[in-house]
Amino acid sequence: MKRLLLAAAAVAACIATASYADDAKKTDSASPNFQPTEYKSSGSVTTGGGAIAYDAILGTLVVHPKGWNDAATDKDDDKDKNPSAEAAMSYVAYFKHGGDPSKRPITFLFNGGPGSSTVWLHMGAFGPRRVLTNDDTHTPAAPYTVVNNDESLLDTSDLVFIDMPGTGFGRIGGKDAAKNFYGVDQDIHAFASFIRQFLGKYNRWNSPKYIYGESYGTMRAAGLSLALQNEDIDLNGVILLSDILNWDLLPDDPELNPSIDEPYIVSLPSYAATAWYHHKIPNQPKELRPFLLKVEHFATTDYALALLRGAGLSWAERKAIAAKLHAYTGLPVGYLLKSNLRIEYGAMQKELLGAQDLTTGTLDTRFTGVTLDPLSKTAEYDPQSSAIGSAYIAAYNDYARNTLKYNGVLQFKPDVPVYGSWDYKHQPPGADHPLIQLPNVLPDLAVAMKQNPTMKVMVNGGYFDISTPYYEGWMEMRHLPIPDKLRGNIEFHYYESGHMVYVHLPSLAQLHDNVAAFIRKTSGVQ
């Protein structure tokens, strides 16, 4: 696929990693890689509320596929029926000194991909240390600087950064390991197993509980909200960043799916925001948000109707819509007519600054980079990925070994290449089998909210994100099948940043304050 990885995982795409399939073949259940581990350390972080002392644990927990019987013994016939596949999932947990487990909130955080570790949220957003990167330009090569994170969420909640199976310092192994862990439902099951095990190991069953997912991690989070509930674990809140819960709304390659026009509609406001940022709007508006309100209205009215009419649109009507699109995106009217009023994924990034031989970012369109091929139809790489990936990976490797005291033999894996082989079939509540369609976890989240009407949902997004456009998340929640009385349980926050909102420091401060306030008002603990 032309599409970059769907998460902050994309920034790791340029970093070589060993094949997950090779790892699975080379390891087995006798390997020390499949034993729980702990590397303990302590530290202090200074936030707006002062210094916070904490204990840190870098470790692994072992999880198994669905159907595993953990009570089977060597004498039990059922033991031979257990699947041999297993995963050692790595994590880093931070516990505030002196915190009462029954009152101290705990938040489980993860990035997406699928295929990504959680190094991005850890070292860029809410961990006690943060790597310094440039705001919208390429960060110079090493040495990199890691600083106290003033916006660490430890001022409000204990934190557990979880790496998906096969990433971080975790590994998968056994027969059919990839098949058993690399899919929508398999992944949800692994994370649910991890969280349940973690709650018992660290005595956190009575803590207020939150899950925080970014990008594909939002699909995981929505599915987890119901999967955990089915194991009698009610969540206080679900926090989504750069969400994608219904893949029919994805902006990549919509031209290969004629008659499905929603991706063009939900992407248009982000294209307009991009043009606004780079001063390509005719009669440039001064403020972004009022401008986007006009674009959102156009996208869901005249533009949506024009796309719906298809070939029934007259030439005069077609030119009128193209002129309006030009006013909102800066793209030439001739180009918009040739593209049948539909802006292909990657085309905006390539065309907007094409005269300058520049390509804008995909995860964050504030970033620009030199165009690789001036004759290509769409963007061939993501400038933000190239700009910050090395800084995050180098900083975390150094931090894990020198601060978190990891002295194991495994190499840290920022990601595994599973996007193309991922099992995208999902069995939503009410279905008796996994469906052959693009995954959609809106039904899971809806059922979880109906069964736990006190659970709150927080939606966050960046205006300059084309990978998972902010209006996509808004549209999803407008179509969430819940009664009106539960819609007040959802809140929205948007930022003048991209997919990884926290890369922009003013947005990181806003994100921290919004998430902290969300946790405080929903945890029952002040």
Assigned domain for 303 exists:
no
Contact between 295 and 268 (Cβ < 8 Å): yes
Residue located via tokens 């925001």: 273
How would residue 526 be classed by pLDDT, with cut points 50, 70 and 90?
low
pLDDT > 60? residue 15:
no
Structure pTM? 0.93
The angle at the Cα of 425, spanning 447 to 464, to the nearest 5 degrees, equals 75
Per-residue pLDDT tens over the stretch 18-34 = 344 444 444 444 466 78
Interval 490-499 mean pLDDT: 97
In a domain, 151, yes or no: yes
Instruction: Give the integer Cα–Cα distance in Å for 269 and 275.
Output: 10
**301, 312 Cβ separation under 8 angstroms:** no
More confident residue, 498 or 525: 498
DSSP-derived 3-state class of residue 160: strand
Contacts 24+ apart (CB under 8 A), 311-317: none
340-350: per-residue pLDDT in tens?
999 988 888 88
- 194: which 2 tokens? 């991890």
- In Å, how far are 255, 330, 462 from 363, measured between CA atoms? 20, 20, 9
Q: Count H helices, E strands: the chain?
A: 15, 14
> Which of the residue ranges 59-68, 368-377, 501-510 would you say has the lowest mean pLDDT?
368-377
pLDDT class of 508 with cuts at 50, 70, 90: very high
Tell me the average pLDDT across 95-114. 93
pLDDT reported for residue 6: 41
Higher pLDDT, 110 or 384: 110
Residue 509's domain comprises 8-248+389-523
pLDDT band at 1 (very low <50, low <70, confident <90, very high): very low
pLDDT value at residue 18: 36
Residue 185 pLDDT more than 90?
A: yes
Residue 75 is predicted with a pLDDT of 54
Q: What is the DSSP string of 252-263?
A: SSGGGSTT--HH
DSSP symbol at 411 = P
Averaged pLDDT for residues 269-297: 96
Task: Please determine, for residue 53, whether its predicted confidence score (pLDDT) is greater than 60.
Answer: yes
Q: Give pLDDT, residue 383.
A: 80
Is 353 inside any structural domain? Answer: no
pLDDT at 5: 43
What's the average model confidence in pLDDT over 503-508? 96
- The pLDDT > 90 percentage for the chain reads 75
- pLDDT confidence band for 130 (50 / 70 / 90): very high
Tell me if 370 is assigned to some domain.
no
Q: Over 90: is that where the pLDDT of 199 sits?
A: yes
Span between the terminal Cα atoms of the chain, in Å: 47
Sign of the dihedral through C-alpha 420, 499, 279, 261: positive
> In a 10 Å sphere around its CB, with 0-12 CB exposed, 13-18 middle and 19+ buried, how is residue 289 labelled?
exposed
Residue 95 carries which side chain, given as an amino acid letter?
F
Please tell me the distance from the alpha carbon of residue 470 to that of residue 463, in angstroms, as a whole number: 6
Q: Which amino acid is at 128?
A: P
Q: Is residue 399 part of a domain?
A: yes
Q: Is residue 460 part of a domain?
A: yes
Asked whether 109 and 515 are in contact (CB, 8 A), the reply is no
Tell me whether residue 101 is exposed, middle or buried, using C-beta atoms within 10 angstroms of its C-beta: 0 to 12, 13 to 18, 19 or more: middle
Q: 16 or 301: which carries more pLDDT confidence?
A: 301
Average pLDDT, the chain: 90
Quickly tell me which residue has 């581990």 as its tokens. Answer: 37
Q: Domain count of the chain?
A: 1
CA distances to 3, 34, 112, 357, 419 from 379, rounded to whole Å, are 10, 41, 22, 11, 19
Find all residues with CB under 8 Å of 178, minimum gap 6, and list them.
20, 21, 24, 172, 418, 421
- The letter for the amino acid at 266 is V
pLDDT for residue 101: 86
56's tokens: 């840190």
The pLDDT of 178-199, averaged and rounded, is: 97
Q: What string of DSSP letters covers 307-364?
A: HHHGGGS-HHHHHHHHHHHHHHH---HHHHHHTTT---TTHHHHHTTGGGTEEE-SS-
> Residue 461 is part of a domain; what is its CATH number?
3.40.50.1820
Question: Residue 146 pairs with which residues in a beta bridge?
Answer: 131
Q: How does pLDDT run across 431-474, given as a tens digit for each residue?
A: 999 999 999 999 999 999 999 999 999 999 999 999 999 999 99
**Span 166-193, mean pLDDT?**
96
Q: Quick one: CA dihedral 214, 219, 225, 231, positive or negative?
A: negative
Any domain includes 509: yes
Residue 309 lies in a domain: no
Residue 129 pLDDT > 80, yes or no?
Answer: yes
Rounded Cα distance between 88 and 526, Å, is 35
